[in-house]
Structure 1
Amino acid sequence: MSSKRMEPLKAAKLFTEENFSGSATVLLGGSVVRGEATDTSDLDIVVIDEKVKTAYRESLIAYDWPIEVFVHNEETLIEYFKSDCERGRPSLPRMVAEGIIIKDHGSGSEFKETAETFLKEGPPDWNSSTIRMKRYFLTDLLDDFVGSKKRGETIFIAGSLAEALHEFVLRTNRRWVGSSKWIVRALSEYDRVFTERFVNSFEYFYKTGDKQRVISLVDSVLKPHGGRLFDGFSIGKELDANEEK
């Protein structure tokens, strides 16, 4: 992180004093709180203010910091907590749970406790139909990967395959998923040994073009759930009485 910039907590406090001086509760979250900030990191600031009618997000620059502001009232905060958790990516609950309270209108600790409760509960279970559908789409991606002959196309298929595979592993184990850099972080929180194999398999493909490690990895993940799925899979088909039996 650049030493020329103002300290993140000081910048966040000044930003709050200038822009949210009323009855808001404000928290600073993100990488600067976790001690993972880089030269390109921003300040993630969550504002909860009952005067706000609708939730909104705003990006701006102040004190040489890029700042992402997430503004809510209590009702929209909980709605976003729930929707984030339903999709398995608890971005806002994590931001609030990890956040440092820099302005408290009396409910800061309560908001943090609520966020922590959502995180501890984990994402909803995938039912058998969802697992079957995800097996099919993962199989489809793997088939595209195996059959692709063009290097450029194969690179991007591999990226989609990695994202789908990480989601399948984590959601079938009732764990939170991630996106971008959070894919590896989410996997590491679940199983560091598996994560090392996951990263090494895709890295080996990108370096050498050899697909076998990735193929073996995907097959090992699918095997406990019945392996690859194509034959007999359908979506939306109405079954007659005989088929239902």
Structure 2
Amino acid sequence: MAIYRKEAKEAAAEFVDQHFPLCQCALLAGSTVRGEATISSDLDIVIFDEQISGSYRESFRENGWPIEVFVHNFRSYQAFFQSDCSRARPSLPTMVAEGTAIKGEVRLKAIKAEAEYLLEKGPEAWTEETIGIKRYFLTDLLDDFIGSSDRSEDLFIASALSASASEFVLRTNGRWIGQSKWIVRALRNFDQDYANNFTAVFNDFYRTGQKAEVIKLVDNILIPCGGRLFEGFSQGKKTHSNINGKAEKI
């Protein structure tokens, strides 16, 4: 039986009027704004209310819609902007930048401009040390994948490998990353053809069990940064002075 639900923006405006009537600003974000809504899509609503003491998130179901609401005051959202950008997954800046105003459009302009600036700026570049660490652990996953002869283990290693490989190629190219469905969306934003090939390679492995193309893909991702890394890798090693006053590693 079909479930009746109001048009997304109408349902969102009604929700805000009922639950946050005193808020200064509200916007609707997510798949409904991007024109990508499916039968399981929810309404993502961001609230700005100067009366609340801190940020929180809450879930509802109204007018046939599951609703996720993200509530901030006019200071707390900045910490979330910073945190999201530090982890290179700009969830809140993306919602704010893409969102459609429900209430307080004029006041939202400055916040949207801040979000758009952060998205355009991109994530902070990985240091050489971070690249080395990521190379090492990506190499370790690839070695596990190559050496495994257990189909059940292969499936889970491949899943971890695809996530780590996508992170590596995106971050070393100065791009935002994602998780779950946002991984492939981040790859598409980087390069549509590359994303198509990346998903096709892993899809072929899941279908046939053949590993060669996955190994080739990951090696090609590692090559610009020096290739696989195992021998010589060190992390957390400290130094001390010997009796002659020279520094030694321990």
TM-score range, shorter chain: over 0.9
Q: How high is the sequence identity, in percent, across the aligned residues?
A: 52
In structure 1, the partner of 2:86 is 86
Superposition RMSD in Å: 1.4
Equivalent runs, 1:17-32 vs 2, <5 Å: 17-32=17-32
CA deviations over 1:164-189 (Å, ceiling 9, x no partner): 01100011111000111111110011
- Any stretches of 5+ residues in structure 2 without a counterpart? 241-245
2:3–2:64 contact (8 Å) kept in structure 1 = no
| Larger of the two Rg values belongs to structure | 2
1:24–1:105 contact (8 Å) kept in structure 2 = no
In structure 1, the partner of 2:243 is none
Distance in 1 separating the partners of 2:238 and 2:73: 44
Equivalent runs, 1:30-109 vs 2, <5 Å: 30-104=30-104, 106-109=106-109
- Report SS of the residue matched to 2:75: helix
CA deviations over 1:72-126 (Å, ceiling 9, x no partner): 0121111101100110000000000000000107411111111101101100000
Distance in 2 separating the partners of 1:72 and 1:202: 39
Structure 1 counterpart of 2:63, which letter?
A: Y
In structure 1, the partner of 2:167 is 167
Structure 1 counterpart of 2:233, which letter?
A: F
Deviation at 1:239, TM superposition (A): 3.6
- Any stretches of 5+ residues in structure 1 without a counterpart? none
Distance in 2 separating the partners of 1:218 and 1:202: 11
1:23–1:105 contact (8 Å) kept in structure 2 = no
Distance in 2 separating the partners of 1:39 and 1:105: 28
Deviation at 1:23, TM superposition (A): 3.5
- The answer to whether residue 134 in structure 2 is matched with residue 134 in structure 1 is yes
Equivalent runs, 1:170-185 vs 2, <5 Å: 170-185=170-185
Runs of 4+ in 1 over 4 A off after TM superposition: 240-244
Which TM-score applies when normalising by structure 2?
0.94
Structure 2 counterpart of 1:163, which letter?
A: A
- The answer to whether residue 151 in structure 2 is matched with residue 151 in structure 1 is yes
CA deviations over 1:151-208 (Å, ceiling 9, x no partner): 1111011011000011000111110001111111100111122112211110110000
Distance in 2 separating the partners of 1:63 and 1:51: 27
- Report SS of the residue matched to 1:107: helix
In structure 2, the partner of 1:225 is 225
Deviation at 1:4, TM superposition (A): 2.7
1:123–1:176 contact (8 Å) kept in structure 2 = yes
